[in-house]
């Protein structure tokens, strides 16, 4: 051994340093979902109990993560994501902000149910004040199923969160070897493993054999560019979604007004077209000081601003994501003109 190499090796041995010490520190926050789901048989893939397995068991099932990062786990919730509430996503955002402000945390992975994985990652995309990686993952098959997808998704999410290139890209969603942006990823099929897509915008990158390849960046504002700060808040303004369809009744708007909601997302037909009944309901809601956003129930495309109704906000977000942005926007203002700008920017 050359003298220089000898001294470096000796120094490393004396300081107790090993290769493992160079690994990033990643915290896994578990919230439940199918990735933590348990069924009564190895073939059952519907009707099982989501959120049955704790975070340490999820980590123990994938010892390969320890080659990628120093991993620690915390249980934030253990629920099916249909039971996620504004309170839980607010708590999650605050915890992620706390963790990422620590020097000894390099990234966060969040395990979550797929059913509302449109929503929570987008909320964190708007409210996390760090460029360190925040990566959501999930599974379509419960942990007990033959060929469960959760373990590989978890490993890939930790790999993505550990990678320097993942910094500053906004909150990411990793499933099925694909890396997507929280702003665009949406569940497109109730059963298929390959359900998370960004149909118009595409994925940001892929991960194959642990190798990450990024192809795109998101132009919309997020994380460190976002003006939204929920760290001192204890609740989010209530916003409901009203679906447009043949015979949609006006009385749904009366119920929303009576429940003192602060915002309504109208999931309109086509490019957000409004029936005469919904039009009457929307006008009543606006008179009551409620901000109304027109979105499209088609899940894609753009809803144009209606120049005849400048108080009516619109944009390109699907109804579930529009609700997240409107709740967040209402923490700053209830001026529809400013909220329209947020819908253009975020």
Provide the binding-site residues for ligand SIN, judged by CB under 6 A: 32-34, 50, 80-82, 113-115, 138, 140
Closer residue to ligand SIN, CB minimum distance, 114 or 314: 114
Least distance to ligand SIN, CB of residue 116, Å: 6
Q: What is the rounded (10 degree) CA torsion for 213, 218, 224, 227?
A: -160
Least distance to ligand SIN, CB of residue 238, Å: 22
233 vs 254: CA distance, rounded Å: 28
Tokens 């309109």 sit on residue: 268
Closer residue to ligand SIN, CB minimum distance, 130 or 318: 318
Helices 276-287 and 251-258, packing angle to 10 deg: 20
Are 160 and 181 within 8 A, CB to CB?
no
* CB-closest chain residue to ligand SIN: 113
The H-assigned helical ranges of the chain are 3-14, 55-60, 65-68, 86-100, 120-127, 150-161, 251-258, 276-287, 319-329, 336-345
Least distance to ligand SIN, CB of residue 234, Å: 25
Least distance to ligand SIN, CB of residue 58, Å: 13
Closer residue to ligand SIN, CB minimum distance, 138 or 264: 138
Degrees (nearest 5) of the Cα angle 209, 178, 51? 100
Buried-state track 91-125, b at ≥16 Cβ within 10 A, e below 16: ebbbbbbebbeeeebbbbbbbbbbbbbbbbbbbbb
Q: Pick the closest to residue 238 from 206, 211, 261, 218 (CA basis).
A: 261
Are 122 and 32 within 8 A, CB to CB?
no
Set 31, 111, 114, 116: catalytic member? 114
Least distance to ligand SIN, CB of residue 74, Å: 18
Closer residue to ligand SIN, CB minimum distance, 39 or 285: 39
Closer residue to ligand SIN, CB minimum distance, 249 or 299: 299
Are 136 and 121 within 8 A, CB to CB?
yes
Q: Pick the closest to residue 138 from 32, 67, 28 (CA basis).
A: 32
Set 31, 34, 45, 144: catalytic member? 34
Give yes or no: 114 in active site.
yes
Are 34 and 142 within 8 A, CB to CB?
yes
Closer residue to ligand SIN, CB minimum distance, 81 or 278: 81
Give yes or no: 34 in active site.
yes
Least distance to ligand SIN, CB of residue 138, Å: 5
- What's the full length of the chain, in residues? 346
Query: Which residues are identified as catalytic?
Result: 34, 114
């Amino acid at each position: 051994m050359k003298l220089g190499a000898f001294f470096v090796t000796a120094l490393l041995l004396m300081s107790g340093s090993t290769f493992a010490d160079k690994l990033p520190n990643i915290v896994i926050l578990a919230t439940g979902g199918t990735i933590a789901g348990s069924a009564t048989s190895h073939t059952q893939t519907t009707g099982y109990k989501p959120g049955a397995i704790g975070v340490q068991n999820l980590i123990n099932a994938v010892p390969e993560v320890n080659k990628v990062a120093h991993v620690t786990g915390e249980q934030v919730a253990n629920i099916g994501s249909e039971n996620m509430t504004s309170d839980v996503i607010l708590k999650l955002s605050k915890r992620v902000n706390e963790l990422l402000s620590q020097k000894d945390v390099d990234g966060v992975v969040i395990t979550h149910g797929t059913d509302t994985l449109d929503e929570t990652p987008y909320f964190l995309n708007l409210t996390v004040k760090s460029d360190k990686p925040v990566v959501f993952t999930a599974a379509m098959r419960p942990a007990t199923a033959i060929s469960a997808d959760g373990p590989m998704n978890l490993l890939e999410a930790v790999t993505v969160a550990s990678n320097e290139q993942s910094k500053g890209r906004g909150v990411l969603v990793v499933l099925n070897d694909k890396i997507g942006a929280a702003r665009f990823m949406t569940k497109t099929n109730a059963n298929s493993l390959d359900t998370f897509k960004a149909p118009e915008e595409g994925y940001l990158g892929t991960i194959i054999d642990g190798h990450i390849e990024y192809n795109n960046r998101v132009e919309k504002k997020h994380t460190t560019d976002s003006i939204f700060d929920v760290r001192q808040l204890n609740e989010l303004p209530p916003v409901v979604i009203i679906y447009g369809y043949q015979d949609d009744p006006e009385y749904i708007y009366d119920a929303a007004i009576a429940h003192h909601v602060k915002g309504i997302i109208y999931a309109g037909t086509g490019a957000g077209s409004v029936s005469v009944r919904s039009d009457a309901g929307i006008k009543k809601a606006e008179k009551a000081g409620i901000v109304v956003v027109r979105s499209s129930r088609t899940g894609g495309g753009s809803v144009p601003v209606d120049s005849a109704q400048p108080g009516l906000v619109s944009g390109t977000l699907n109804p579930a994501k529009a609700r997240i942005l409107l709740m967040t926007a209402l923490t700053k203002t209830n001026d529809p003109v400013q909220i329209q700008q947020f819908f253009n920017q975020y």
